[in-house]
Each structure stands twice: as C-alpha cells, then as structure tokens.
Structure 1
Amino acid sequence: MREFRRVGVVGCGLMGSGIAQVCARAGLDVVVAERDAEALAAGRSRLVASLDRGMRGGKLTEEGRAETLRRLAFTSDLGDFADRDLVIEAVAERRDAKALVFERLDRVLADGDAVIASNTSSIPIVDLAAVTARPQNVVGVHFFNPVPVQRLVEVIPTQLTAPEIADQVAAFAERRLGKTVIRAKDRAGFVVNALLVPYLVSAVRMLESGVASAEDIDAGMVLGCAHPMGPLRLLDLIGLDTALSIAESMYEEFKEPLYAPPPLLRRMVAAGAVGRKAGRGFHVYAN
C-alpha cells in the first residue's frame, strides 16, 4: 500500500499545529503554512510550547523534541508544497476559506496523485473536492483536539473519492500516526459532531433560559454522568467561534432545530468571548 512521506499542513492554529506535531513525531517530512509571518510565528510558538509540555510530562525526551523540530519547515507560500504527497488543510471553519486553499493546492501540487485532505469538523467534503481537478484524491480526515492526545480520527470519503485513497489515508492515520480510525459518510457533522453538537447547544439553551448556572450545568454532567468535562467548558476548549460555524453548517444542511445555534452563542462570539483562547467564554481563564 502507498505510504505518505512528505506531508503539508495548511494552517498552524490549534488543530494545524497539533497535526503537524504528530506527523513530525512520526518521522515524516512536514511543511506547515500560515497566511503571513506573524501567524506563522504564533503557530510555531504554539507547536514548540506543546512539545515543551510533552517534555515536562515525561512523554518526550529532549532529543525527541529536537528531532521533531528538525523535521518541520514553516512557510507562508503554498508554492513550497509542490513536492508534497499528502496535504492536510486545517484553516478556519469557513467553506470559502477552505475552498480557496483547495483551489490553490490543486494548482501547486506537482504530483497528480497527491492527496488533499480536509480537517473540517462539519463542511461536506464533496464541496471542497468540487473545486479541484482531482476529486478522486480528496478526502476528509478529521482529527480531535488536542491532536497529540486524542486518539480518534474520522476518515470521510465522498462519492467521488477513489476507494484506495480512503484506504491509504486510513492506514496512514492508524499505522503511521497511531490513531484509531472510524469512517463516516460525507454529511455535515460526520459521526462525532452529529451526536455532540445537539448536546452542546442544548447546554447553551439551558444557560440562556436560566435553568442553572454554567458551573452547575458543567458539574452536573461531570459528576452525574462521569463526563471528563462539562459541555460549556468543552465549548470553551473547542472555541465558541468554531462551535458556531459547525452548528451553522449542520443546520444549513439538515434544517434540524437541534443543530440551530442559540442566540446566546452568537452574542458571545460577537463579543469576542470565544473561550479559552480568548481568556473568557462561559468560564474565565488565566492567561
């Protein structure tokens, strides 16, 4: 079976930096792209901080940290992806932004058999495949946050994806990255978010209607249902802006009221209270 050795990651935010890290730790040649020098520096710092946490936790040696960094290159020019055989897009959860990346990658990649994958949480993969001349080589590969810790990856082929491409990407995630793969149909939300989003937005509606405080809602699910984290704190971790985009995408596709974003969620995003990355969301966080 074909193996991917030269990986590109577009986007070095929370998800992109994590994907780049696990690929580099797996011994792969990784190039990471961001939109400009400032975003690239922030992404590199985020990645280095994650490696440092791994060292402090005893999960990574100093030599392993240095070796991982040696396998990483950073750029703001997608032209540097020409020799990649697999590129994973991890930009903002917006259809227009992702489609633009796919169009550019399709023109840049020299190998006509190179695979373009999206880490989208909810956008139908076929919408992204349609803007390329290689829809048979486009697939969804949805990692979970934090990528270095979470074991799951959803692999999502479209009606146009060649079966062998989906198999190759699944084998890559399992054998090379050490992840557990589940396969999903190409429908907004896939498996995990189709189940998770109604639960999360229900918690926001409960808070919005004054049934209980954010602290009590979270404590109820942690202590009453043995969840590792309450729904509102989980939303803060995901990012309220990202959660809003996911809910909007799912509601657009299915028109199911359970997916509809509550007004409170929209207001908090408009106010910049988007969760841990902003220092405040449903809870307040130290810098």
Structure 2
Amino acid sequence: MTIQDELTLSYYKTVADINATHEIFLVQDTRDGKFYVKKILTVYNLDVFKHLLAHPVRNTPAIYTVVEDDGRLITIEEYIPGDTLEEILAKGPLTEGQAIDITISLCQIIEQFHNCTPPIVNRDIKPSNIKVTPDGVVKLVDLNAAKPYNVDATRDTVLIGTQGYAAPEQYGFGASSVLTDIYAMIELVDNAMLQVKEFPDNGDQYFEIVAKCYLNRFKYNETDLLDILHIERSRFYDRKKEAIMVFGIALWGSEIPKLQTFLSQLDETDNLPLLAV
C-alpha cells in the first residue's frame, strides 16, 4: 500500500457495521459527507475489480477505490439503499409482476458481465446478493466471487459459491464459465418448477401450464393447450394467472409448506390472492 493509498482510505470513516464478520462497513467520506461501502476481502480476483473500476456494469455497485495490501483487497464501493431479495421474501411472496421484473433485470445484469472481454463469471447469484432499491431498481450487489473466464483452465483454483446455487465446477469438477451463472439461473427455475408441481391444489396443472407456455421451445397454440391440459377456455386464463403466481413465489425462495396459508385465502372461484410485498 502506498502513502497515496493510505491517504485516500483515511478519508473514509466507518459509521456502522454492515457485516462485521465479513469485514463490510458503511463509511462516510469526510470530504463530501457521502456514504459508501468499504469491503476488506481475503478471497478476490484483482482483475475483476480493476475491470469494474474502469468499466462499470449498470445496476451493480460502482467501484471507486481498489487497494491491495498484504493479501487483502480493500474496496470502496457505491452504497446502494434498499432491501435484499432475501429480506423482501421474509416479509411475504412476490407478486407476478415483481417476479418477472426481477428475473428479467437479473438476466440483463448477468448478460453485461458475460459480454465483457474476457467474460466475467459471477459465481454467486442468490437472493441475498440481489437488492431492490426504494424506487424499484434491481441491483446485483456482491461481486466478491466473480472471476474472468479462462478458456484454458481445467478447474477453478479457488472453490467458492453457495450450496443450492453453485454449479458442479464450483466444487472442483471443472472450470467456471458463463455457463456457471446460467446454471444458477436454471437451478432457480428448476427448483421452483418442482415446488409448483408439489403445490397442494392443482400443482400438476400449474406445472404443465408454466412449462408449456413459457419454458418449452415449441410454441403451443391455444387449442392445443386446452386439449393437452383438459381444461375449458373459461377456466384456462384463471389457472394460468394462478400458475404464474405460484411459480413466482417458488422461484424466489418460498417453499411449498409455507404456501399453505395462502390456501385459506382462496375465494369460491379458487383465485389466488395477489399479495403486495
């Protein structure tokens, strides 16, 4: 660390712990009074942070300072207000619109990383690393596990990731690539679909509706769908709305047993209530 680095870091005074165990702090710049996030990382990829410092990725924290010191990386990043998706889900399920917006926004962020040269693989996509700001913007906030894709690598040198979302290569069975992040998204969808199928009322039908309307390459016309699902047109659109709602709940972490409370709120037409978070 140079004297200039020490001077730069000295301007940022810690005002609160965000996660003291992982050495993440809320700091304030004494020069302009603005708030930032200071991280002290022991597992990191310097090339990723240097790239993000020079080429910010939209809807991720801007990187303002990167200092390497004795095997640690100290970063000063944009402070992003709001709740994590994990915190939002703890309050209640997402509406259909929220689930769709968050999924599309997340894919757009990941696409930017994969379009870098070389592509950057996030390797840790999960609800606790996704934030929704007070004005509804979706942000991917934790980039500590990210690494550049190395086409010549046969396996990762540092094994990192979160159980339930990590791809096999993150456990040592190969090298991370852009497919690693796609795997995480597929895992989210796949787990959600299993939960939809297990839904106590109409689970099998909800599963078929979501699968055939949204996840199948072959596009069915309405007549074929009604025939396959053995359902009347007058009921189809209600069931489709319910299926998307259940899928949206399952996609972002709520388990089927937790959905039992919603069954008691069904009205006589079997419509699931769209509950706002």
Query: TM-score by structure 2 length?
Result: 0.26
Structure index of larger Rg: 2
Identify, as 1 or 2, the structure richer in helix.
1
